[in-house]
Amino acid sequence: MNISGNAALVTGAASGLGAATAALLAQNGAHVYGLDLEQAIGDAPAPPDNVTLLAADITHEEPVRTALERVARDGHPLRLAVNCAGIAPSARVLGRRGAHPLDLFHHVVNVNLVGTFNVLRLAAQAIARTCADDHGQRGLIVNTASIAAFEGQVGQAAYAASKAGVTGLTITAARDLADHGIRVMTIAPGIVDTPMMAGFPDAVRTALAEGVPMPRRLAHPDEYARLVLMIAAHDYLNGETIRMDGALRMAPR
Is 246 inside a domain boundary? no
Inside any domain, residue 133: yes
Residue 249 lies in a domain: no
In a domain, 250, yes or no: no
Catalytic residue among 33, 159, 224, 236: 159
User: Sign of dihedral through CA atoms 190, 25, 236, 145?
Assistant: positive
Distance in angstroms (rounded) separating the CA atoms of residues 164 and 170: 10
- Rounded to 10°, the helix 115-127/157-177 angle is 20
Q: Alpha-carbon distance 86 to 96, whole Å?
A: 26
- ∠ CA 59-64-69, nearest 5°, is 170
- Where are the alpha helices (H) located in the chain, listed in sequence order? 16-27, 38-43, 61-74, 102-109, 115-127, 157-177, 195-198, 202-210, 221-233
β-pairing, 94-95 with 98-99? Answer: antiparallel
pLDDT per position in the chain (253 positions), as tens? 999 999 999 999 999 999 999 999 999 999 999 999 999 999 999 999 999 999 999 999 999 999 999 999 999 999 999 999 999 999 999 999 999 999 999 999 999 999 999 999 999 999 999 999 999 999 999 999 999 999 999 999 999 999 999 999 999 999 999 999 999 999 999 999 987 777 667 887 788 888 999 999 999 999 999 999 999 999 999 999 999 999 999 888 8
**What CATH number is associated with residue 139?**
3.40.50.720
159 is catalytic: yes
DSSP 3-state assignment of 242? strand
- The SS3 assignment for 136 reads coil
Provide the domain limits for residue 82.
Answer: 7-241
In a domain, 43, yes or no: yes
Count of the separate structural domains present in the chain: 1
Q: Is residue 89 part of a domain?
A: yes
Q: Is residue 160, in this structure, part of any structural domain at all?
A: yes
Asked if the structure places residue 124 within a domain, the reply is: yes
CA distance 18 to 222: 10
